[in-house]
Structure 1
């Protein structure tokens, strides 16, 4: 509204109990334009004289500004100067949804009107003085209804209201940082505005969020928008980040980052906005090649194959191709065809011929071949391959050589291998040395052999924790054996003709072999070298049993070049240093986010070894519900461990943050994933020892993965973390640990099952602390008295029963993880079973507690005092109206009772019920029967 622009009478409402009244007249403004003016000159301040505007629409504003232009006579210059003369007036406003005001409504008084201010003039008019007018601006609000009225009250003033202007401020439309923001009206001191990405741009990041900017109350944009938008592939930012322009012909942009660049060699882009340059005819790009790599082609054929017969082997050597196709990933493949007769067809050799190294993916230019038949013609073909050979429509370039075998000494070996059995070459095994935990063995073989011994295979009973380490040929050392334990040992030899039979059993120490678990260990002896080869089921290998722990790191963890890693932000702190989020981009692979654990400076060699031991453990696991190790960085500082990045972090804090946001079937899905990961670890004979929701990570798809494989360190070192309490010289997470593990350090897969039951309870209670605020000693005492955690609110009966099964005192009675996975699968396939809700007191609960004792729940005697102690005092009236006057009456309260009392928030329900459960348990513990 602006009265200066009005050309007809304003006709505002006037109210006065005495003369004079506000009077509407025509006048001239400072620019001599005709305007409508309201004026009044009072002779008495004993009565109020009101002037009220018409109904003003609020529109989109939550607060408005009022600009007043007025003149005021000084009291000393009025002809009727009196003591009650005033040089001020009052401004009010009144809100309404409709134009409802009348001559008598609302009442002409300060309430229901809202006072804005008492206005004093800066310039006063005097007789014969300069004509000056005053300008005052006020903020009115907050406004919540559809419109309002302005009212002016004079009580003894002689003044003229020259003009009234009402307006609000807004931030204009803005395009910046590839984001477009609409016109925004500030409703608070700083109003957040949400924008959209400009055309050909999109939000970026793992968790994309719309661009945001803030509009100040003065109608000005505050700061700069965050760069959350990026131009799509094929487009780049232009005109000061206000639009995305298409890449010109001959240029491309493959991702949302960077600018358009020229096409790499042997490729082209024939249209605007290209995200990839197409290869020229005859050139290719592999799936692993980044888009900015040049196009290449398959290599030419290898050259000059040279066959050589040496003792019992055929070796083939060749020269590299003249043209590698423009690539460095050159490899070779060896093919073999056999022609059994001059006129017959040639066929592939198949498994009858052996190669060392294997015939495919050869990096060198030499291969050894054995297993050939006498009087036979073979054709060996050497193919040259690189990363694009598989995409070519043409056969790989190759060269070949023909070999015809004769009847000589090296052929006789294979001939015998085909028609006769290999005799036993090892007869007697002797113990040449021994200690408390190791044995050194020795055996002899015939001095005249027609066979070359390639390796020996040793097997013995009594399952061991690690692989034995062998000393030189025919004298292996079996280490880390158990004292006072008997072993049976057999050895057999392998030649080119195959395996011989095992030697007779040799008993080392008196026989006590109650079961026979064979571990096959092969000792390679060809070319005078010794090595190890393991056959059988994959099991976990403790990295601390290696003579050199760095060897375990090299074996199980891949070294990553530090240049491939970009650290973006610190997201936490670990035992050894900071935990960061970063990006890993290995050439030829897709970039992905990773979590990075760093080893802080000034570490000792032991700290470095302990830090990397977790990678040695994690690197042995490959399962969708086990955190995946990407690799390690040890060649530069700081030392780092890289794992896959889990967007939602630790499960316990994620559940607390999303309290009551998931359905039972979703929660069961999380539990099923954890059980599946633990089943895999159990099958590998790995015991976790620290299974808890804090050590479960969850990604954006709600997939849970077991992590934190470092409790072995806690069991050896002191820790300031109150979660881990000393027990028998080590640190143990009491609330999650089975009683036999606390008392006797008996950590097994069964003790992990107990911990899994606690994790189930954590999931169903949305991250509640197990056993609430009980001390660790109280928890130990309670478990000994057969107390078990009650079902969380709304917990399905079947799930609580599974928890109770996991908490069986007899560890042999607990289910295995495979049983738990099957049980959870059945629940997922039958969602109706999750609607049966467990009630506290069902199943194993308080069997040793004397129920005859009175239940004095808390030192707080009054309900109000108790509610204030747990910060739930808002519900005091509801409890009192429901008849709960004393805390002694609270024990039977259920979720349904709380709903009837108006406690509708799930988090508040859980807090109240948990407090009651804690008080109930303490009371029952105090009333335990003494035996």
Structure 2
């Protein structure tokens, strides 16, 4: 989406731009015709002789927040051979500049009419030239300028021998239009860099979950196109569903509902419920139907069950068993249970009252899952009414109450009364002797007594209860458990049968709290006291021995004056009080020979370097596993001093709960089974490059080349994997590319800048990624660009920042990385060149010993032995600038007097600024090239490569 800042085609009056020339002719404003024969205001100039500069400057253009703008030029150019002019002074090009300002302060003399303070955009050449009798063709050129930072800018055109007409000038910038996607709305966004982050919000009737409150995000590319799929968790609210491809949240129609947030659709109301409104999150139950409090909104509505059927009683004197069949209608629920209601009624069928607590139920009176219950403890010769209720989860909400089936029963008249007065006579560890009162009634004869006794801790479980009979009112319960409480009940039997069990009483076997202490308990106490006394004696002896040895230990002696006088306490000495840290190390730490230590694996990372697991075997001692802290390569003097100070501190401590320092190694490095040599790393990199060479020759681009996608076997053979983002390249042009039009995440840290900005993927963009892989391998898995954000990485690359060499990285390898990271993709090497360069390094391993801090200057390019910077190939300043792709400054160098290669030797940054080279990256590239040329012309020394 383009936003126009200026368009001369739409102007209805004179443009009145400012012109400047030291000689005639000047730029002249005239009316002309565009390519569609519409009348427009144009500027034209036709120089006859000379090469003086003729300037034309527009009025101030407000940038309106844009950081990059585009200039579309329509112009015609007369061919030099068709003009009567000197061929050397005739030009078929012109220059475009711009000047930024916060105020409209330009005058005919300010700013000065020269490249600095103006910034050059480009030298514009015509594709079509006008010649006598030839067809009139209009040239169209679009150029980008920026970055812009001030309120506005001026455009300036410089002609130096051209005969041309400037038909129209259109200035615009690109912005990403407002967008709705994935239930998120993103505002119109102006990109201020290669990729601009945009923050959006959820559409109406959508929200993010409380666990993820981060707003939706999306990236706007420099070309005005949205780069990626949005990062969002917006979902439609309850009662709404996504519609029109997740562009909006639409209310559920009448009869439909959606109970929660999420991506699901609206659904029909559950059974026995309905809704007449739109946007419903719950459906209302129909009359006589309900939901239990634990039911969710998407469950059907249900009702209370019908009455139980076929209630059958079985009376046995004063006990009763009830059985029944399940209801015909369960109410549509599976949580069916039963409850028993008991009432005592008068003899003549009159008023009934609720039964008391003396009636017992098994398994229970309420919440019964089965369809059978036993009841005992009833009164003899008494009328009862029992009702069995069927219940479910909504029975309490029904206005009709629970449905039940009722039956009336009468107990037997000749059942004996309850037995009372159960007491304990004696108790042992395994028996209880009990007795009770005889019933005083004389109208029946008691035939027998029955005792029921259960372990109290185990409740009334069937396997914990036992029964015994007694002919009299006394009994002995034997084979009981020691120190255990028992719950005991007694009932009497007559000719009419058993009566009800009397009230339960609890009795405990010995030993008990209220019983006299047994001899065994006394013996146990005496033994425990003896053991305790023995422990105290042993502890006192150990204390005395250790105290005596403490004063005899030579390591604890006062030879260095490290004790407090008269107290025998060792004093910690700060190692930083030593002028030389090595002196503190020699005093407090023991040097260990490197041959005694073997590193097995890395287990972590510390402040100074890696932490490893290894084995220590000192002659004459047992081999032990140890933890090894290492000082990373490339350390500073301060880091080494701090590292040794830590060892000096640890060496002063001797305590079982303080880490013990075995010693230090300062003479050399211990062996590490997992450490790679530089030649091994280069071999691995060569394997990766060979695989990518094969893919590129098959016209495939990987798009996600990174160390994480390289598999390595036990022989260090590397295999390229993860082809989820690979694409086939259409070889329909001299520069095949793959353009991604879909979404998908881009691995920013590994992706070339043109692929990030324009989604243009080529084998050259894979070469950029390969350079990052090289850096990962040589840094042993360090994260590229460390903790920089993706946006910081994009900005840094745009400003020509490149990753520095990893510690101890050979200079040649880092130079190869820099070759892979050339901004212009055509300047990057091909994978065949990379394989060849790595083969040269493998054949000459001595070159791998030259690291960045050892080299005397910039390294030579690896990919071509005949460097374009060699004196033989750069005969002129123009050839040299074209070789390093800085040909835009050729005219400035020549006009400033730099006409030969010898004059470039002492050029500096201030000279480049005067020449109009204002970009830091261009300055660095030119100065590095000059330094390389200077080094090539020096006589060879004793440097080994």
TM-score in terms of structure 2 length:
0.47
Who wins on radius of gyration, i.e. which is larger?
Answer: 2
**Larger RCO (alpha carbons 8 Å, 6+ apart):** 2
